[in-house]
Chain A
Amino acid sequence: MATKIEYDDSIVKGFVISAMIWGIASMLFGVIIAFQLVYPQLNLGLPYTSFGRLRPLHTNAAIFGFALSIIFATAYHTVQRLCRTRMFSDTLSRIHIILYNLTIALAAVTLPLGYSQGKEYAELEWPLDLLIVIWYVIFFINYLGTVIKREEKQMYVAIWFYIASFVTVPLLFIVNNLVIPSGLMKSYSIYSGIFDANIQWWYGHNAVAFVLTTPFLGLMYYYLPKHINLPIYSHRLSIIHFWSLIFIYIWAGPHHLLYSPIPDWLQTTGMIFSVMLWMPSWGGMLNGFLTLTQTRDKIKVDATLKMMLVAITFYGMSTFEGPLLSIRAVSAIGHNTDWIISHVHSGTLGWVGFLSASALYYLVPRLWNTKLYSESLANFHFWIGTLGILLYIVSMWASGITEGSMWRALNPDGTLMYPDWVSITEELKVFRLARAIGGSMFFIGILVMIYNFIKTISNKDSGFEPTDLRVGVRG
């Protein structure tokens, strides 16, 4: 692994630490609000701790705190190695990480104070949005500058996914956050009613696509083959599924608005493209699986590899469930219910969460030049995390389908069978309690991982030794 080029790994370390901090914050608030839905006393009767304010804090910390930190850590790490060059500018990297963490810290203050634009995942008020644009431009110049000055002729597939993400996210972000300010921390969307809804879900859906999916595919394409020391299964498949994925994803937003007053042609377009999206998504899943099978004998001995396997499995599952939920008849029962929460978390905990964890298990020992403190703790993290996700998504499936069915249940004379709303809520309590326990298990796994990393880092510079996971090699 010795190389003559001096890579800037301090920026990678910085974002690894950011990811751990915002990861704890986002999941802690996730667990709190999950219990609030069962025990409303936990809202404490205070403005700052009520569900309506903490839920945006949970989602923003998870997407923009945890997931983005992972994306930046891995982007800085992979782009230098894949381009065989140091970052374009270390100064830009420093400014980026400082402004980025400042933004997330400000978000963690302003959201509980109730400053909100009122649109999901776009709650942050306009001064914070401007701050985001500034560090984003800085980062983008730095990233693309590095790719342009590369010493490697070809750009590897991981870079494609990162580039596609980095050009699309600002488009989505700026168009959806266009507001008219009426004070330092107050503004209104310039779009009204159904236009606002259409643009919001174009944004919301593609935030899932270009923050939680494509950068993580890039991550998979680098760390999976590197970890097992074997090439990816198919280059041709990666070309085909990359271009079809980014082209089709952007169209699927209106599936969030089926049966709403937005035009029918728009709903149908969203539905059709969502169903088509199934194939390119599975293209990525298959390339991951088939790469991984080259070393299947080693899966049982390596926790990082297990996490990758489970992450790809959840990617396949949630990208099948997504198109399913986009079909009108299925949306009729699933929309607005806990089923959607299940769907989101099989993607975020299963795919994003475990793939992030596997990248961290790959990075931390290498960055701090030491051995992982405990493989058995990593294994414990894997098991409690996997069981936690399963408990979470299965209980939310049950909850969502129960609630969707009770909403629509009619007596033989055509009247509602459950006119009393709380009687439905009562029915869901047990599932929501199970969900909160499942989420807590996943959170415990993350805490164990971070403990493991703290111990690992405290023993830094003791020398890193890679494990060879190729079949037939003893390790």
Chain B
Amino acid sequence: MDKFLNWFSEIADRWDTDAVRFTLYATIAVIIGGLFELIPPFFLAQTVVPISSVKPYNALELAGRDIYTREGCNNCHTQMIRPFKWEVDRFDPQGAYGKEGYSKGGEYVYDHPFLWGSKRTGPDLSHESQIKPSVDWHKRHLINPQATVNNSIMPPYPWLFEESATISVESIVSNMKALSKVGVPYTEEDYSKAKELLDGKLEGDALIAYLMKLGKDTANLESSIK
């Protein structure tokens, strides 16, 4: 080992006289790991097992997802359930997913960007539609979290339900078209439905529609796998 280190340090010691060569070698050193980890997943079929019941977000749900991103909900809520009994039990209390109720790659295929989060200050929301299916509860909770959950530390979001918090159909359709360019299979029908779906809806309604989409498409996963 010592011989190897001597050999290496003697060679590398000669690299510090030529700035361009040094920069090139440093670039090569950092690029190898990146190539190895970033490229193959795109070409390996088993990276994501498709789940046929998972559908793209409709106009209202997408509007809600944009608000989720804007408000930075992912700073406190994760959307990734790990394969532990205690984690599955907590975030799938109805057992809708059976004992395999942890997150699968196929659930996220239309997520640009992914919103897994890295800090679970509040509960995980990946299957929220199956945990708290009440639209009314979510509305009261978003306007004043402490009114529905005593001692909650979540901030209130009353502005999402103010009359001015309307959603522009045009911008949502433009967002959907942008997403279709990166692979989300939206159709002309999806675009034309946007007006109807967003009619009279406030930002808060859209956010709740998004929460009601989370976990919905995979709620009967166990039976669909069988």
Contacts and interface: CB of A to CB of B under 8 A. Distances in A.
- Asked if A and B are interacting partners, one says yes
Interface of A: 36-38, 40, 43, 45-47, 50-53, 55-56, 114-120, 144, 147-148, 150, 153-157, 160, 163-164, 167-168, 171, 175, 180-183, 186-200, 202, 210, 235-236, 239-240, 243, 246-251, 253-254, 256, 259-263, 266, 269-270, 273, 332, 335-337, 340-341, 407-410, 414-416, 419, 421-422, 425-426
A249 to B, nearest CB: 8
B175 A250 contact: no
Interface of B: 5, 8-9, 12-13, 16-17, 19-20, 22-23, 26-27, 29-34, 36-38, 41-42, 44, 46-48, 66, 69-76, 78, 80, 82-87, 89-90, 93, 103-105, 107-123, 145-146, 149-159, 171, 174-175, 177-179, 181-184
B102 to A, nearest CB: 8
B119 A50 contact: no
Contact of B19 (A147, A188, A259): A147
A191 to B, nearest CB: 7
A192 B108 contact: yes
Contacts of A47: 71, 159
The secondary structure that dominates the A interface is helix
Given A192-B183, A253-B37, A408-B87, 14 more contacts: A36-B153, A38-B153, A153-B17, A180-B181, A188-B178, A191-B113, A192-B110, A194-B108, A196-B111, A202-B38, A247-B29, A269-B36, A337-B120, A422-B152
Contacts of A52: 71-73, 75-76, 155
B153 A40 contact: yes
A120 B118 CA distance: 9
22 contacts: A37-B121, A43-B155, A52-B73, A144-B19, A148-B19, A160-B22, A164-B26, A181-B178, A182-B178, A189-B114, A192-B110, A192-B112, A193-B111, A202-B37, A240-B5, A249-B33, A332-B82, A335-B82, A336-B119, A336-B120, A340-B119, A425-B151
Nearest to B116: A197
Contacts of B183: 192
B75 to A, nearest CB: 5
A262 B105 contact: yes
A55 B72 contact: yes
A266 B145 CA distance: 39
A163 B26 contact: yes
Contact of A117 (B26, B34, B113, B159): B113
B75 A261 contact: no
A197 B155 CA distance: 27
Contact of A118 (B9, B86, B115, B157): B115
B103 A260 contact: yes
Contacts of B93: 419
Contact of A336 (B13, B118, B171): B118
B76 A51 contact: yes
Given A45-B158, A116-B72, A415-B89, A188 B30 contact: no
A40 B77 CA distance: 16
A355 to B, nearest CB: 22
B113 A40 contact: no
Contacts of B85: 410, 414
Contacts of B177: 182
A119 B105 contact: no
Contacts of B151: 422, 425-426
A42 B84 CA distance: 35
Nearest to A256: B118
Given A192-B110, A426-B151, A163 B82 contact: no
Given A40-B155, A116-B69, A144-B19, A421 B119 contact: no
Contacts of B150: 422
B87 A118 contact: no
B182 A51 contact: no
B48 to A, nearest CB: 6
A422 to B, nearest CB: 5
Contact of B37 (A114, A187, A259, A269): A269
Nearest to A51: B155
Contacts of A186: 66, 171, 175
Contacts of B117: 336
Nearest to B42: A195
A199 to B, nearest CB: 6
Given A171-B34, A180-B181, A239-B13, A422 B156 contact: no
A263 B46 contact: yes
Contact of B33 (A167, A273, A332): A273
Contacts of A260: 80, 82, 103, 116
Contacts of A251: 33, 36-37
